[in-house]
Amino acid sequence: MSFITTMTLRKAGRLNEALLQANEDWQQEKTFHSCIAMFWVQKDICECLIKAQRLDEANERIGFLEVLLPLMNDTEGIAARAIAKLKEHALPFYPQIKRIERMCKDGCEKAAYETLLPFLDYNLPLPLHERVGWVVYKYLKRMLAECQSAQARWALFNYIKLNNPRPSLLHSQMLLMALNVKERFADFNLLKFIFVWDVNSFSEADFLPTQHEEQTFRPLTERVIEHCFSLGYALQEVCDIFLPNPHFTEQQLGKLFARSWFFSIYNLQKQDEKAAITLAMRYAQAVNGGNMINEYHSKILTFYLHHLPQQHPRLLFTFIRAWGMGNFSDNDWHRSIKEGHRCPALVERVLVAILSACNETELIKLHVRTPEILKRALIDFNDNERLMRLWVKTKLAACKRDEALDVLRHLIRKQQRFYLWKELADITPDKELKLSALCKAILLQPRDKFLGKVHFMLGTLLKELGMLAEAQAQVNAFAETYRRNHWTPTPEMQALANEMPPNTVACADMWAFYNAHLQAANNFLYPPCTETNKH
């Protein structure tokens, strides 16, 4: 019954009497119950000593409680937590820091921080540093819009001097607060702060996405790094700070660099397209041909291609040189389907744009030293009509007419288009094949508005061959086409019409003429086999 007596006295606040009873029981026999009674009586007396700021005596009794703890069956850790709480309350400056915390909770963050400042000059016990850190954080959160740059920077410095646990929630929140300080005050050196903050202080949770009210947020690490880029820091500067943490790689930082720029460009183009194009060029110049293979790097190139002024196609040369021809990803070689239509791969679009903008000298150089990317594209995208037509043009510039004709032959075999036959007529020296190709072009295009130049070419050729009636029919055809569409014939067309002998009667059945001159074109597509009989 002495155990009950001791605990009853304790609950009644008669601690001296309870202690006498507990000591008596403890001296008689160190049982489980006598140990429990002694522990809780000593704990209550310790609390009284702390309130009286008799900290040395309190700490002596805490030491005795730690001796008793192993003798108790503290499976739920209640006694251990009680000791931890007493230890904290027995720390020097604990009551003062506790009052400061209470001021913060009451909405007096500025007064709390100002009250805290003198204590920062003392050697505060380490267990209090976390509490002090939260006071600094709440002050900055509440007062950032009102304070001066020096005050904000000094508050961050006061936090960095602390030795609170790192990584921790507080440490991560202070990093986010430093980003806000940089946004408000340009003179704040954010990267220097992150260096002393220590990138190895990120917690495992900081590398994972977070969820809040059914909304998913990107990992803290990604948001912080991308924010550094949005504030104008260069890629190399950020790499120098973050790469000491093995969780980060150059490829990952490069992707975040490109992502930050992409969204800046994308958002700017909603307001000012020209400024967005200039910003995209600045991005490419920042990359300067360096290794940068990721989806956002490719998206910026896609944006530039889409918004490139048609009157200045050669600007692409400067952009792509800085963007880096070696930075195409595997996905950039893949075509896509949008709304049921096949869209060309990014590589296709770029090469077509480059070849279209090249002059003859540049085409010759491309043929002499064909880049590997172009060699692969000519194989992978040999069904890209525009690319292959430009390759024909390249071969012609390099005086490789037979090779150009061979490329054109394979192109026409896949899809017979009137303009492909016209291009064949443009480049072949064979007048019979030229005549046949032009006839093919006319028969393949029912809409006469697209055939004005074809009729002119055929008329010129027929006049050279002395077929005046047929030539006159072509002159009449392109003249009628231009009249019907209110176009002005070219000087060459007018000259051809004037050179025709007076009173020349046009051939009445040109369709029969066209069909009668298709053999050379058919033989070009599928050359007849020559058999040699051996006797």
Residue pLDDT, tens place only, 17-52: 888 888 888 888 888 888 888 899 889 999 999 888
Structure tokens at 257: 């660099």
Contact 202, 172 (CB under 8 A): yes
Average pLDDT over residues 70-83: 88
What does the pLDDT look like over 294-328, one tens digit per residue?
999 999 999 999 998 887 889 999 999 999 999 99
pLDDT in tens, 256-295: 999 999 999 999 999 999 999 999 999 999 999 999 999 9
pTM of the predicted protein model: 0.80
Q: What are the residues whose beta carbons fall under 8 Å from the beta carbon of 74, sequence distance 6 or more?
A: 80
Residue 532 has pLDDT above 70, yes or no: no
Q: How many CA within 13 A on the CB side of residue 13? A: 1
Which of helix, strand or coil describes residue 238? helix
Query: Which pLDDT band, with edges at 50, 70 and 90, does 74 fall under?
Result: confident
Domain ranges of the chain: 1-90, 103-248, 430-526
Q: Tens digits of per-residue pLDDT, 153-206?
A: 999 999 999 999 999 999 999 999 999 999 999 999 999 999 999 999 999 999
Of 183, 107, 125, nearest in space to 152 by CA: 183
What's the chain's length in residues?
A: 535
C-alpha closest to that of 159 among 182, 144, 143, 175: 175
pLDDT reading at 534 higher than 60:
no
Q: Is residue 533 predicted with pLDDT exceeding 80?
A: no
More confident site: 214 or 143: 143
214 band by pLDDT with thresholds 50, 70 and 90: confident
Residue 1 predicted with pLDDT over 80: no
Per the prediction, the chain carries an average pLDDT of 92
On the 0-12 / 13-18 / 19+ scale of CB atoms within 10 A, 160 is middle
- Please report the pLDDT score of residue 535 as a whole number: 36
* pLDDT for residue 450: 86
Contacts of 466 (CB under 8 A, 6+ apart): none
Please report the pLDDT score of residue 531 as a whole number.
Answer: 46
Span 504-524, average pLDDT: 94
> With pLDDT > 70 as the criterion, what percentage of the chain qualifies?
99
The C-alpha atoms of residue 327 and residue 330 are separated, in whole angstroms, by 10
Q: Torsions phi, psi of 291, nearest 5? A: -65, 120
Cβ atoms 282, 258 nearer than 8 A: no
Mean pLDDT of the region 209-233? 91
